[in-house]
Structure 1
């Protein structure tokens, strides 16, 4: 039997609570946000055509990415399909967004978007996304009418309610802070670094929050936007594993 002197026992009794406290601190999440995170990107994140290492993105702890698919009626991100394939192989959930041209009719743009994304919309795909951040010189009422038409048609074609991307300032000044769309899920852009984003248009909650446009993410050779998912909206996988029509 090993005997322990009274002095040593006293030192252990003092040291053990301190060690336990240190262990608890180490086991408690610190400043890192525990919510799922991921970049959003376009062809700009492929300088000189270089690929993205999606395994490295996933290895850095990013569970999803939101990728530009189309713009207007005739542009498709030349890296969209290769990114989608590589993301699926790496286990990264994928959202696809359309960049609208409000000076062109919405119906052909909706068809263009769905045609480019439909074949990729299998399990692991987030709902359709409309990226509203440029007015093309159009008045708020023109943009509002355009959005209703695009969103309705895409929902009919895909069977899923789209997500709207919006920044508070743009929405207030260019879309008259309309509250006609706050029944749609919101992807909000707000880089204020606060605990909660500023929400436009009568929205009371958000699905994705774009927190910065200067994130350095392993696997992506240039800075990108970075986002977090609102865990209060339920498991992210549920959003990504609801089948589209025809899936």
Structure 2
């Protein structure tokens, strides 16, 4: 399933139509000398209406790539959980320079997702590394949302420019895309290189819970993939527990606020307030314990 979004620049109004849109990308900068004068207002509109927000920079061949990325960050000022994209469509910018720009931006991004935007012709005709940072935003105006003519996995497909640039993203809901942008629930399979990095360069590997599923033979796929599965399974469990703790913390906070309001209004005595607080805390702990047992 996919969701719909748009991207806007100085050519669009700061009060663009949000009907049917789940996400909005806004052009921020070009090179080291241009800032979209409507960027702040266009971003503010998306934020105020609860859309997933992205910012993008148009790469120029006339200036330092690192300087461009610094310029972009300074003027886009993305918030936590907002996306960034490098727009690669100028002929003078090579594939290697595109890669360098994305890697530099990711190093400065503070955990924010960085995407590559390019056309289908650039991806299939100019790209030689298949590197797209955290995800590929592919442009092909084929009138077939979610069906670009590429083999690579994509995150966003820009399928038309009429009446404005319109996209679909490979998420089932706005909430799912927002969670991905924020770095939540990304249980990606580990590659052999990932496993070796986690295990260390000395060749010592951590065994999974069931040692029978672990191969000491480094030439065996199980030597890597059973370990990768083990790590991913435990990562998933930890994230579920983290979510349970966060949810219960919010419930306790809401209960505490309600009790405080009742106490201030004289509806409860001091003893009743203490008893209610203790009962709420006990119930929350029991609920968390049950959740941990489930997971």
Question: Under a length normalisation based on structure 2, what TM-score does the superposition of the two structures give?
Answer: 0.56
How far did residue 168 of structure 1 move?
1.6
Contact 2:28 2:56 in 1 (8 A): yes
Contact 1:102 1:146 in 2 (8 A): no
Superposed CA deviations along residues 84-123 of structure 1, whole A, max 9, x for unmatched, are 11211111111100001023210110100111123x3234
- Secondary structure at 1:45's aligned position in 2? coil
Question: Under a length normalisation based on structure 1, what TM-score does the superposition of the two structures give?
Answer: 0.66
In 2, the alpha carbon distance for the partners of 1:64 and 1:235 equals 11
Q: Which residue of 1 aligns with 2:168?
A: 228
Q: Which residue of 2 aligns with 1:210?
A: 158
Q: Report the structure number with the largest CA radius of gyration.
A: 2
- Secondary structure at 1:205's aligned position in 2? coil
Contact 2:3 2:172 in 1 (8 A): no
Cα 1:69/1:183, change in 2 over 3 Å: closer
Cα 1:230/1:237, change in 2 over 3 Å: same
Please state if 1:151 is matched with 2:114. no
Q: Which has the higher contact order (CA 8 A, sep 6+)?
A: 1
Q: Which residue of 1 aligns with 2:265?
A: none
Cα 1:110/1:183, change in 2 over 3 Å: closer
What root-mean-square deviation, in Å, do the aligned CA atoms of Structure 1 and Structure 2 show? 2.4
Choose which of 30, 36, 49 in structure 1 pairs with 2:3: 36
Deviates more, 1:95-104 or 1:186-195: 186-195
In 2, the alpha carbon distance for the partners of 1:169 and 1:147 equals 15
- Secondary structure at 2:165's aligned position in 1? strand
In 1, the alpha carbon distance for the partners of 2:153 and 2:130 equals 15
How far did residue 182 of structure 1 move?
5.0
The 5 Å alignment of 1:56-67 reads 56-57=17-18, 60-67=19-26
How far did residue 197 of structure 1 move?
0.8
Q: Which residue of 2 aligns with 1:239?
A: 180
Please state if 1:165 is matched with 2:105. no
Choose which of 63, 68, 79 in structure 2 pairs with 1:121: 79
In 1, the alpha carbon distance for the partners of 2:132 and 2:65 equals 20
Q: Which residue of 1 aligns with 2:136?
A: 186
Cα 1:113/1:182, change in 2 over 3 Å: closer
Q: Which residue of 1 aligns with 2:149?
A: 198
The runs of 5 or more residues in structure 1 that have no matched partner are: 1-33, 215-222
Cα 1:144/1:110, change in 2 over 3 Å: same
How far did residue 172 of structure 1 move?
3.8
Superposed CA deviations along residues 37-85 of structure 1, whole A, max 9, x for unmatched, are 1111110113xxxx314xx51xx22111111111000111101111111
The 5 Å alignment of 1:50-129 reads 51-53=14-16, 56-57=17-18, 60-118=19-77, 120-123=78-81, 125-126=82-83, 128-129=84-85
Cα 1:183/1:151, change in 2 over 3 Å: closer
Superposed CA deviations along residues 2-37 of structure 1, whole A, max 9, x for unmatched, are xxxxxxxxxxxxxxxxxxxxxxxxxxxxxxxx6211
Contact 2:115 2:137 in 1 (8 A): yes
How far did residue 237 of structure 1 move?
1.4
- Secondary structure at 1:78's aligned position in 2? coil
